[in-house]
Amino acid sequence: MGFNMRARLRAAQIEVTGFDRNPAVTDVASMAELVAAVPAPRLIWVMVPSGDITSSVITELSVLMDAGDLLVDGGNSRFTEDQKHGAMLAEKNIGFIDVGVSGGVWGLENGYGLMAGGSKENVAWALPVLDVLRPEGERADSFVHVGDIGAGHYAKMVHNGIEYGLMQAYAEGYELLAKKEIIEDLPGTFRAWQKGTVVRSWLLDLMVKALDEDPGLESIDDYVEDSGEGRWTVEEAIANAVPAPAITAALFARFSSREDNSPAMKMVSALRHQFGGHATKPAGS
């Protein structure tokens, strides 16, 4: 996703220097070269997998960056990690904001939905970049300053929890229709829902696309990963005594997919691949 974000910013005439461990896509050979190449005061955007990798990258950058710079974590970090990273960077007078990013592999063309956490001053500084990354139109339709540090990723966590439930509902409907002999045009049924119905959505459009590419989903195994946010959403629901049966059931269905053969979970896997480019497992693996 970071590669596509760089391309979208460059298309808007914003100068971007990117570092990636893959020499085929990187602009510089190291993070030290990256920081040296960006004029101060710097805005450095981190877009790497959540967890230890994010923490190690932010820790390394905290040594290389200068007071007055701003670091943005645009990955899917847990909100509690944002608060730790923000406090560490504040000791060095380096600003920090967390930005939940939604849009997957389609963001380059369509723009990204953005949810920011941090101070008003730091979010305002990053706003020219955020405005290019989001879709055209009213800012409030695709961007929100949710609150202080951690709030952006908390909102993205809940967004992804909702996504789990939505995908599971579509997938279960797919399996039920596929089981019934009187349904003679399964892909056409979903295609007919794309306009005018109350269940129309981008996920439904991607479902139709997945069926166009592989009508029986025969090339996809029903094993579905969960990338963290669904688990964290359920944990937060428990911690705050908020009932979340749909999201919880969708998470548990992913666990079940690792044991059983399920057409519904094949569809969930196909949808994750369509919007996010997440890897699928080949059938029979």
What residues are labeled active site?
156, 163
Amino acid at the residue 254: R
CA-based nearest residue to 162, from 84, 100, 87, 217: 100
End-to-end CA distance of the chain: 27
Q: Is the peptide bond before 41 cis (omega within 30 degrees of 0)?
A: yes
Q: Which two tokens stand for residue 97?
A: 């904001």
Host H or E run for residue 133: helix 120-133
Local structure of residue 107 (DSSP, 8 states): H
Q: Return the SS3 of 60.
A: helix
Q: Please give the Cα distance from 29 to 17 (Å, whole number).
A: 11
Rounded to 10°, the helix 2-11/120-133 angle is 80
Host H or E run for residue 148: none
